[in-house]
Amino acid sequence: MSTLTLQDPTYAHEVVAPTSKSAAHRALCAAAFANAPTTLYINTVCDDIEATCRCLCALGAKITQKDRTLAVVPVARENIQKNALLDCGESGSTLRFLLPVCAALGANARFMRHGRLPKRPLSPLWEELEAHGLTLSEQDELLITSGRIGAGDYTIDAQVSSQYVTGLLLALSLLDTPSTLTLTGEIESAPYIDMTLTTLARFGAAPKIGIDGRTYHIHGYAAAPLTSPGSLTPEGDFSGAAFPLALGAIGPHAVTVRGLDVASTQGDKEILSLLTRFGAKVTVKDDAVTVAPASLTGIEINAKQIPDLVPILAVIGAAASGTTTITGAARLRLKESDRLAAMHAFLSTVGGDITTTEDALTINGGKPLTGGRVETFGDHRIAMSAAVAAVLTNAPLTLSDTACVAKSYPAFFDEVVFA
């Protein structure tokens, strides 16, 4: 834990977007079971990516970091390390991706979970895996698996987490024979499923999508083995870039973020259109996005497909005149913190006008914010949002914990806040 007081920070004018951890997770999982080594060019190795690397190595892959590359030597499916201890840290993606993968490989793995991760939901993924042959049990922070799932017809309710869908798509791609995966319910965070499909396509194992867009026909490893592309550069992260881009909208000067692909399937690319709707000046040139300050006005936002943006959107709402309403945000109560409660506590502490319901935030913005000590709840997105909000306060702002940003953006304070 590291307490930090922000007083006259020198916010950056230009930054390079960190590598998308969502894209990196997926690329690492595919590379670890491909037919040949893969080199990933990556500029940010955060705690969550380290967790995925650590777990894949425990299963038998070899991953070496040097400068800005991760060299992945895959492990053959028949040589998977059995009964391995997989330390997931606090990474929900690591757990939810590798649980189905280990089930497909019959690894009988033990997953160690830290922080709030043991409390975050695994249903209905748990039940679907058990219905296909896996046995799951818990001992405090440990999640223990035994048995093996086979090819067949799988169904998952997609309104809880897109990570369940990703985990199953990866897992079923490792089984020899074909399977189907059908999604029920309202699909949450659909762009993240698209990222998984893109990754599988790059490794030569793209599923066939049914005409309804809800059924995936996975060919299986015998027909479509994961084939290394040799090298891969996961794209820049719009989730991380949202914080410096927000600074450009509410701070003293324009901010440019380079290394972004505006044709990306990332859902959090929506930050560009949302900033434009707020009234900020957004310009795009090649891989660079520049956001300049302007008069901002509150807007209505449905966050079902972009939950990770909610904390920083609430800060922008506090800077904008009028009312900003963010709905469809119930899942934020199950993240690294209860993010709706955390943002309510933070903005209320510094004089913001905010109310919450079970799944929504309403911010009456345009009012000066005060300084003081605020709780970040050990949540990286709350800490970064609070650091951005310091540009709005009329007195120093003290953050209770800043070390937590290492989960997704380790260089945030060096590159963005104290540049």
Active-site residue numbers?
308
Query: Per this entry, what is the length of the chain?
Result: 419
Element (H, E) at 155: strand 153-157
CA distance 69 to 231: 10
Using an 8 Å Cβ cutoff, are 346 and 382 in contact?
A: yes
8-state DSSP, 401: -
Cβ-contact 60, 79 below 8 angstroms? yes
Phi, psi dihedral angles at 86 (to 5 degrees): -105, 110
Q: Rounded to an integer, what distance in angstroms lies between the CA atom of residue 177 and that of residue 51?
A: 30
Distance separating alpha carbons of residues 77 and 57, to the nearest angstrom: 13
Asked whether 277 and 297 are in contact (CB, 8 A), the reply is no
**254: amino acid identity, one letter:** A
Q: Crossing angle, helix 339-349 and helix 310-319, to 10 degrees?
A: 30
Please state the φ and ψ torsions of residue 16, each to the nearest 5 degrees: -100, 130
Q: 3-class SS at 58?
A: helix
> 415: number of CA atoms within 13 Å, CB side?
20
DSSP 250: H
Instruction: List strands edge to edge, sheet with 69-73.
Output: 62-66, 69-73, 38-41, 231-232
* Closest by Cα among 339, 419, 343, 341 to 386: 343
Backbone angles phi, psi at 100, to 5 degrees: -65, -35
**Whole-angstrom Cα distance, residue 193 to residue 96?**
13
Measured CA distances, 359 to 119, 229, 302, 328 (Å) = 19, 42, 10, 6
